[in-house]
Amino acid sequence: MKEAMFQPIMERFVKRCTVWSERFMSHAAKEVLVKSVLQALSTHCMGVFKMTQSFCDKYEKLIRDFWWGDENGHWKVHWMPWDRMIRTKRGGGIGFKDMSLFNQALLAKQAWRLIHRPDCLCARILKSKYYPHGDLVDMVFASDASPVWRGIEHGLDLLKAGLVWRIGNGRKVNIQRDNWILRDEGLKPATFIRRSRLRWVNQLMQPDGSGWNKELIHQVFYPFDAEAICSIKLPAFDAEDTLAWHYEKSGNFTVGSAYRLAYSIKYEACLSASRSTNNANDRSIWDIIWKAKVPEKIKIFGWRVATNTLPTKKNKWKRTLEVHSTCNICGNDEEDEFHAVVSCTKSKALRNEMRGIWDLPSEKLFGYTGVDWLQNLLLPCNSETRSKVLLLLWRCWFLRDDCVHNKGKEFIGRSVLFLQQLEIELISCSTTSDTMNGKGVCRQTPQILAGEGHSLVLPGSGATVVADSVHWTAPPAGTVKLNSDASFFSSSGNSYVGAVARDHKGAVIFSLSKRTDCCSSVEEAEARALLAGLQALSVIYRGPLIAETDCSVLACELQPGSICRSAWFPALCDIKMEFLKFQAVQIAHSKRIRNKLAHGLAAHARMARICRWWRKSLMI
């Protein structure tokens, strides 16, 4: 489509900027307006059409001009290039969006909807017109397609880079063409070691479907591919292969993860080079600044100090805006960020006054240690001291501006009182925020009803697990409730599970405590815990069942009608097959406090490190 078609968006942009009094806004206010309003004005059109590159460039220029500001109709200096500003805050940028990449990510969402919801009216119409006998992923687009369809094509290019198959029976997945190996890079196998007629993934499995044919895999693939393939877990039952989004644990597409993927593809080489040559890209300094408990405008000031983008004499001199770079206040040295807020006489005077009131770092830490001086200053400090240092540096810059632009009318004593009052207000706001969030308000002691508290004795182990019937709710009569929990260690992948089934009277039908296979995440461990409980319970009971877990993600994945796309796809498929053994199954999520008994059994498995199975354990 031609750029003129999107002119109304530009007009709305200019109208918004004209209404706002930009001159009196802090950079924090501008950041909010850019991210929540200006970048959102074009979202609807970007989700339907592919924008021209010239439109995206002009749109980004308007954002840059608004961010850096203007004075008397003249745009101010842009102290940082746009490709650095669009980095994430953890990567040294401010988090603005590359509009062309954002456009592609939004269009990829439309392509995902056609795959995720093939039965909706829009998907059926487009399929009947453009790919009646094939799949969208394998589609070859015509050159004379409509603008909407061309937009979907643009989004599909990005979507293909992040799609991955969850292997069920392997009949739909092509070995060489499709993404199906679960790893950070290279979702396809490199190539075969020797010639092979193998085409589909199911040809790499045992004939009885019991697992991978490891001998065959090591014969035809290189070792690094063979190990990655054999590490993929398979469902115990026959399940259909499912397309998922590789860059989300849930397997569902999100625009945010798609944008990050597009950004990494476009800027990966530049980012790698900058990380290896510039210490300022160390994530620790950005985490320190953006997590500090100070107002947002002071965080942005700290970011500008760390990125060397303040309008100092030295920076102006580099751009031929000044004839020299010497500090106008003290005349002792070049005025860069460090000199302006640390070593200048005005800054030293304020710091010496505040040292008698605040607990500041030693003067040795305020020394210049290179371009990463701010990181070296803040890193040894605790959270409270970091906030005070940032407040102090920000006020030092205010004094510098006052001397340069307002003839130095601000007194040191007034700045001391201002910082003290600001600290009191920040503490008050923090306390109010914690109260509204319910943190540390009042803790209610639960009422323990006589006769309801009891323990579960584990036969042969000498261990006792405190039961949770004070909080646990019994199922209806004639129904059994199964509670499960897992103990997961991310460093090793070791997982220990516990499960207990009780009837409507609270009597234990069975309990289980054992170690399970290594898992990739805590959600997979929780799924394995529920699966172990279902497998054990189905041996002695097939009636109505309520399966209760304290993992909300797992409970959502198992709701009726949901499609399993997550990384723990095999366990979810097996759980759904186990559900079929019972008359009726209801999946429920409960708070952890209602799941203490299963949690105790998982902890017991971690300590005992052996499998234990008890049937009708005594409740006393």
End-to-end CA distance of the chain: 75
Residue 496: burial class (beta carbons within 10 Å; 0-12, 13-18, 19+): buried
Report pLDDT for 415: 93
Domain assignment of residue 272, yes or no? no
Residues 320 and 402 in one domain: yes
Domain assignment of residue 498, yes or no? yes
Nearest to 15, CA basis, from 7, 25, 27: 7
d(C-alpha 510, C-alpha 616), whole Å: 5
Domain assignment of residue 351, yes or no? yes
When pLDDT is averaged across residues 90-114 and rounded to a whole number, the result is: 94
Residues 91 and 175 in one domain: no
d(C-alpha 527, C-alpha 486), whole Å: 9
pLDDT bin (cut points 50, 70, 90) of residue 440 is very low
d(C-alpha 12, C-alpha 1), whole Å: 19
Residues 425 and 524 in one domain: no
Q: Which residue has the tokens 């890079």?
A: 185
Q: 565 with 166: CB under 8 angstroms? A: yes
pLDDT bin (cut points 50, 70, 90) of residue 593 is confident
Q: Which residue has the tokens 């001159």?
A: 23
Compute φ and ψ for 482, nearest 5 degrees.
-110, 120
Would residue 564 be called left, alpha or beta, if left means φ above 0 and alpha means ψ between -120 and 50 degrees?
beta
Nearest to 598, CA basis, from 462, 429, 456: 456
Q: 311 with 325: CB under 8 angstroms? A: no
d(C-alpha 596, C-alpha 593), whole Å: 6
Q: 306 with 285: CB under 8 angstroms? A: yes
When pLDDT is averaged across residues 430-449 and rounded to a whole number, the result is: 45
Report pLDDT for 227: 93
Q: What is the total count of domains within the chain? A: 4
H/E stretch holding 465 reads: strand 463-466
Domain assignment of residue 229, yes or no? yes
- SS3 sequence of 284-331: HHHHHHHCCCCCHHHHHHHHHHHCCCCCCHHHHHHCCCCCCCECCCCC
d(C-alpha 535, C-alpha 104), whole Å: 45
Compute φ and ψ for 561, nearest 5 degrees.
90, -10
When pLDDT is averaged across residues 399-413 and rounded to a whole number, the result is: 88
Compute φ and ψ for 347, nearest 5 degrees.
-70, -40
Instruction: Identify the domain containing residue 394 by its residue range.
Output: 285-432
- Copy the structure tokens of residue 12: 């709305």
Residues 194 and 307 in one domain: no
| Domain boundary residue, one of 78, 97, 116 | 97
Q: Is the pLDDT reported for residue 448 higher than 90?
A: no
Report pLDDT for 458: 46
Residues 487 and 379 in one domain: no
Report pLDDT for 564: 86
Report pLDDT for 455: 44
d(C-alpha 164, C-alpha 182), whole Å: 8
Q: Is 221 helix (H, G, I), strand (E, B) or coil?
A: strand
Q: 85 with 222: CB under 8 angstroms? A: no
Q: Are strands 495-502 and 508-516 parallel, antiparallel or unpaired?
A: antiparallel
Residues 202 and 301 in one domain: no
Residues 387 and 529 in one domain: no
Residue 608: burial class (beta carbons within 10 Å; 0-12, 13-18, 19+): middle
Residues 482 and 605 in one domain: yes
H/E stretch holding 230 reads: helix 223-230
pLDDT bin (cut points 50, 70, 90) of residue 435 is low
Per-residue pLDDT of 45-64, as tens digits, reads: 899 999 999 999 999 998 99
pLDDT bin (cut points 50, 70, 90) of residue 269 is low
Q: At what angle do helices 383-405 and 296-306 cross, to 10 degrees?
A: 80
Per-residue pLDDT of 272-329, as tens digits, reads: 555 544 544 467 899 999 999 999 999 999 999 999 999 999 999 999 999 999 998 8
Residues 592 and 512 in one domain: yes
Residues 295 and 367 in one domain: yes
User: DSSP H helical segments within 34-172, as ranges?
Assistant: 43-46, 53-68, 82-85, 99-116, 121-130, 147-162
Q: 538 with 527: CB under 8 angstroms? A: no
Domain assignment of residue 119, yes or no? no
Q: Which residue has the tokens 């070995």?
A: 175
Domain assignment of residue 138, yes or no? no
Residue 209: burial class (beta carbons within 10 Å; 0-12, 13-18, 19+): middle
pTM: 0.84
Residues 466 and 609 in one domain: yes
Domain assignment of residue 131, yes or no? no
d(C-alpha 413, C-alpha 517), whole Å: 66
| Domain boundary residue, one of 185, 217, 240 | 240
Q: Is the pLDDT reported for residue 618 higher than 50?
A: no
Report pLDDT for 210: 81
What whole-number percentage of the chain has pLDDT above 70? 88
**Pick the residue with more confidence: 377 or 562?**
377
Out of 7-21, 346-360, 504-518, give the one with best mean pLDDT: 346-360
Report pLDDT for 611: 60
Domain assignment of residue 266, yes or no? no
Q: Is the pLDDT reported for residue 110 higher than 80?
A: yes
Residues 465 and 424 in one domain: no
| Domain boundary residue, one of 97, 122, 153 | 97
Q: Is the pLDDT reported for residue 162 higher than 80?
A: yes
Q: 243 with 163: CB under 8 angstroms? A: yes
